[in-house]
Amino acid sequence: MYYFFKNLIKKILSKTSWRFKKLYKNKNYVHQKPNIDVIKTLYNSTGVLHMGAHRGGEAQIYDWFQKKTIWIEANPKIIPDLEDHISQFPHQKVISALLSDKDNQNVEFKISSNDSASSSIYEFGKKSLEQNLKMVSKINLKSEKFDTIVEKNSIQLNDYDFWVMDLQGSELLALKGAALSLKKCRSILVEVSQSEYYINAVKWDELKKFLNENHFTQKWEPKESHTDVLFVKEN
């Protein structure tokens, strides 16, 4: 099984996105083969909920694994390009929404200089500024809880038990707004920070505490200041 996934990953990496390349090549994780954990989790999942879509860079991976996928993206300005890209994958769809822990809150969403890839409800912190990132514009949006989105769109959560969260510091807010839906989730690949990339954004210890309290266990501890960690629901 190990060599099967190893060869499978090599094929995928030849034509896929930065996130899974990073997981495959990163040597700093405590777990010996964290990339295998992620690929196995994706392989065994019923489908994917990807929160923080940007331009859908992982769409080909999900299609390669024949996974139904729902993409959620806050920035309405890139939704048309995202939908155009996703349209080539028949089992994937896009929802435009700003995820949070409350519905109908007025939120100032800040658009970043790197093609909106680091856009957030938060201002950049010291670490991001050191990378010469800046917010170039702002738009006013209404927040939505994920639980509300599920009800409004009649999403069958059993079909999407693997969540990927890349929300630029607002991951905990989104999780709190998904209290009911989280019961159907089996695993979460979430971006985490141990340094100030965004002012007042969630830190690793807070996120870990919340997910541990909701019966998810991390597969490894982060060894970088800004990286991804896989959480799996306890049996």
Domain containing residue 117: CATH number: 3.40.50.150
113-145 pLDDT, tens digit per residue, is 999 999 999 999 888 888 889 999 999 999 999
CA torsion sign for 185, 191, 192, 198 is: negative
- Model confidence at 30, pLDDT cuts 50, 70, 90, reads very low
The number of angstroms, rounded, from the C-alpha of 204 to the middle of its chain's C-alpha atoms is 15
Find tokens 């139904």 and name the residue. Answer: 68
Residue 71 CA to residue 139 CA, distance in Å, equals: 20
Residue 77 has pLDDT above 80, yes or no: yes
Q: Report which secondary-structure segment, H or E, holds 28.
A: none
Note the pTM of the prediction, 2 decimals: 0.86
Cβ neighbours for 226, distance < 8 A, ≥ 6 positions apart: 127, 191, 192, 193, 194, 195, 197
Residue 2 has pLDDT above 50, yes or no: no
pLDDT at position 39? 87
Q: What 8-state DSSP symbol labels residue 219?
A: S
Residue 196 CA to residue 217 CA, distance in Å, equals: 24
Which domain covers residue 225, as residue numbers? 2-233
Tokens of 157: 């959560």
Residue 224 has pLDDT above 50, yes or no: yes
pLDDT at position 33? 44
Find tokens 């514009």 and name the residue. Answer: 137
Distances (CA, A) of 28 to 6, 44, 54, 100, 222: 18, 25, 26, 31, 8
Residue 47 has pLDDT above 90, yes or no: yes
CB 93 within 8 A of CB 71: yes
* Highest mean predicted confidence (pLDDT) among 93-102, 129-138, 195-204: 93-102
pLDDT at position 20? 55
Q: Count the domains in the chain.
A: 1
